[in-house]
Amino acid sequence: TQLLEQSPQFLSIQEGENLTVYCNSSSVFSSLQWYRQEPGEGPVLLVTVVTGGEVKKLKRLTFQFGDARKDSSLHITAAQPGDTGLYLCAGPDSSYKLIFGSGTRLLVRP
């Protein structure tokens, strides 16, 4: 069974600080996705990484896929209150079902 573990589970930081969220697995994934979910809403896709070692940037968010395609990280520079939410990583298993990590709940205090 392919599993995705995210760390940390919770993160509370001050506006302007940097942070990194990790998504790890013992299995190889063909791709990994990152979603952000706000209260009362469904998750919103942020990015998909496909190639080992790939780095993608979305404004202040930087996503990296590990060389072995078993892990990924999300780095936020100068966090803002609008970044608050639940960050989820997800990847398709061998039968194309999307598996989600347990999530990182981020709170950015003004």
Partner 1 sequence: KAGVTQTPRYLIKTRGQQVTLSCSPISGHRSVSWYQQTPGQGLQFLFEYFSETQRNKGNFPGRFSGRQFSNSRSEMNVSTLELGDSALYLCASSLVRDRVYNEQFFGPGTRLTVL
Residue 58 is a binding residue for partner 1 (CB under 8 A) = no
Residue 70: CB minimum distance to partner 1, A? 16
Binding flags for partner 1, 26-45, as an x/- string (CB under 8 A): ----xx-x-x----xxxxxx
Sign of the CA dihedral running 68, 49, 60, 15: negative
Q: In terms of DSSP bridges, do strands 10-14 and 104-109 run parallel, antiparallel, or are they unpaired? A: parallel
55: helix, strand or coil: strand
Contact 92, 50 (CB under 8 A): no
Residue 102 is a binding residue for partner 1 (CB under 8 A) = yes
Binding site for partner 1 (CB under 8 A): 30-31, 33, 35, 40-45, 48, 50, 88, 90, 92, 95-103
